[in-house]
Amino acid sequence: MHVDPEHRMIEEYHPAGFDYHARYRDVRLLRASEGGAYYVATDGADALLISDEGTLADLLDDEPDLLARAVCVRRFSSAAARDAYLGARRNGHHDAAR
């Protein structure tokens, strides 16, 4: 787990195959690419951004550390905080997550 105080965000990592559709309600696809997909969801009062790079699992068979962290759930205190994080990434202020 990693805490980012600038964005009021907590990152949780899960292995490839983690069933976030069963764990969180209202999971919605935000963006898909060849390497993975990004989803938004909620968990109680928290707004989530889920990045799933599990589609690369077949290519990562020799990389157990990467397989163990193929799904990242970024937990924000509000949808506004999540959207600000996405907006900053989209505008190039940080490494692209979108």
58-67 confidence digits (pLDDT tens): 666 666 677 7
Query: Average pLDDT of the chain?
Result: 82
Write down the domain spans for the chain. 2-90
Q: Is the pLDDT of residue 53 over 60?
A: yes
Are 70 and 53 spatial neighbours (Cβ–Cβ below 8 Å)? yes
Model-level pTM greater than 0.85? Answer: no
Q: How many angstroms separate the CA atoms of 53 and 45, rounded?
A: 25
Provide the b/e sequence for 41-78 (b: ≥16 CB within 10 Å). beeeebbbbbbbbbebeeebeeeeeebebbbbbbbbee
pLDDT of 41 reads: 97
Task: Indicate the Cα dihedral angle 34, 35, 36, 38, nearest 10°.
Answer: -90
